[in-house]
Structure 1
Amino acid sequence: MARINLRPWREELRAEMQKQFVVMILGAAIIAAGLAFLWVSDVDSRIAYQQSRNAYIETAMKQLDKQIKEIEELKRKRDELLARMKVIQDLQGKRPVIVRVFDEMVRTLPDGLFYTELKKAGDTVSIVGMAESNSRISSLMRQFDQSGWFANPNLSNVLAADNKRAGYSQFNLSVQQKTPEPEGEEK
């Protein structure tokens, strides 16, 4: 006897295949979602790690900026102190020089001549004085030329005698101050 199968096996096979397809799609979707979740959480953790590193670098930069400001302030104070020390050393070094300059001015002063005003600007000494004659002024200029402390005397003008000081002429003279080489001087 011949067997005839009247059951709808094709529809069952199709339904079974459809179930398997849906299960595979759902499985693939679940696996894709899991992988996406892992990828997103990895990216988020990397971003959080980088942000923590950036925050650490920012705090370190702020500390370094404070230290740089402190260093700059210390350098400025150091420069001010060095400038003050230099001024003090210059004044200490020049203290005996001014005494020697005044002493030399008195030594070069001939009779019949006196100073009424002295001004010093840099290395130039401006002198206003009174003289009995022009020969006394030229004698003063020669004395300055021969001095070890002065050089380049320059007579700017000579005014005739006025009523206050009869017989005296007023003169304006400028001379360069120089520091002579020490010649076995005491220190």
Structure 2
Amino acid sequence: MAKINLRPWREELRAEKQKQFVVMILGAVIVAGGLVFLWKSHLDSQIAYQQARNAYIETAAKKLDAQIKEIEDLKRKRDELLARMKVIQDLQGKRPVIVRIFDELVRTLPDGLYYTDLTRTGDNLQIVGMAESNNRISTLMRSFEESDWFASPSLANVSAADSRRAGYSQFNMTVKQTTPEPEGEEKK
């Protein structure tokens, strides 16, 4: 019988298969490492992209906040200007009223009567004057009642004047100042 030794061949085959196994394991580890690296790179790029978007949104929000503040400042300035314009318009509209009041005071003043003191508080006029007779004071009150610029005359006091103005009566009167409706406008 011939002696054939099969061991070295099997051992060589086993060693070869073990080498292939180790190479395959190393290849799998390298491929897995490459995949992990690609996956991590992809996640890092996604995170960087999202952070860039967040930074853009924050910048845009800051710009909008600045614009909102500017708009609020403009609205406040607009309201202040409108308030000033209203005050000016009110003053412009009331400017001729005082002239009309003085004109009406002169028109309602009967002969034999004169004013010594006029005081205006709000819409009320406090009148102190001298009259030759009580009839003249009554005529003044009727003139105030008929006037479009005055209403509700109220006589507070009538007394004899001091010795320098003998024959005169001193009176205190309150009358309410009104503004007549412009002609052509009707009350609704």
Q: Secondary structure at the match of 1:126?
A: strand
Q: Flag structure 2 segments of 5+ consecutive residues without an equivalent.
A: none
Amino acid at match of 2:129: M
Structure 1 residues 6-15 or 95-104, which shifts more? 6-15
Shift of 1:106: 1.8
Q: Answer whether contact 2:115 2:130 (CA < 8 A) is retained.
A: yes
User: Which residue number in structure 2 is paired with residue 118 of structure 1?
Assistant: 119
Give the Cα separation in 1 of the matches to 2:134 and 2:3: 162
CA contact (8 A) 1:113 1:136 kept: no
Name the residue aligned to 1:83. Answer: 83
Which one is further off, 80-89 or 161-170? Answer: 161-170
Letter in 1 for 2:63: Q
The letter for the 1-side match of 2:127 is V
User: TM-score, normalising length from structure 1?
Assistant: 0.72
1:22/1:158 Cα in 2 relative to 1: closer, same or farther (>3 Å)? farther
Alignment partner, residue 175 of structure 1 = 176
The residue aligned with 1:103 is 103
Within 5 A, what are the aligned runs for 1:23-102?
23-102=23-102
| 8 Å Cα contact 1:125-1:177 kept in structure 2 | no
Count, aligned residues:
180
Higher mean C-alpha displacement, 106-115 vs 15-24: 15-24
| 1:101 and 1:149 in contact (8 A); partners too | yes
Name the counterpart of 1:158: 157
Letter in 2 for 1:126: L
Paired amino acid for 2:54: N
Q: Give the superposition deviation at 1:102.
A: 1.5
Unaligned stretches of 5+ residues in structure 1: none
Alpha carbons 1:153, 1:176 under 8 Å: kept: no
Give the TM-score, by structure 2 length.
0.72
Task: Name the aligned partner's letter for residue 130 of structure 1.
Answer: G
**What is the rounded CA distance, in whole Å, between the counterparts of 1:161 and 1:29 in structure 2?**
126
C-alpha distance in structure 2 between counterparts of 1:84 and 1:120, whole Å: 24
- Counterparts of 1:123-162 in structure 2, within 5 Å, are 124-132=123-131, 136-155=136-155, 157-158=156-157, 160-161=159-160
Asked if structure 1 preserves the Cα contact closer than 8 Å seen for 2:151 and 2:175, the reply is no
Q: Percent identical across equivalent pairs? A: 62
Could you tell me which amino acid in structure 2 is paired with residue 145 of structure 1?
E
SS at match of 2:7: coil
> Structure 1's 10 and 168: CA in aligned 2 closer, same or farther, altered over 3 A?
farther
In the TM superposition, what is the alpha-carbon distance from 1:120 to its structure 2 partner?
4.0
The structure-2 alpha-carbon separation of the partners of 1:3 and 1:92, relative to structure 1 and needing over 3 Å to count, comes to same
Distance 1:115 1:177 in 2: 22
Of residues 38-47 and 19-28 in structure 1, the stretch that sits farther from structure 2 once superposed is 19-28
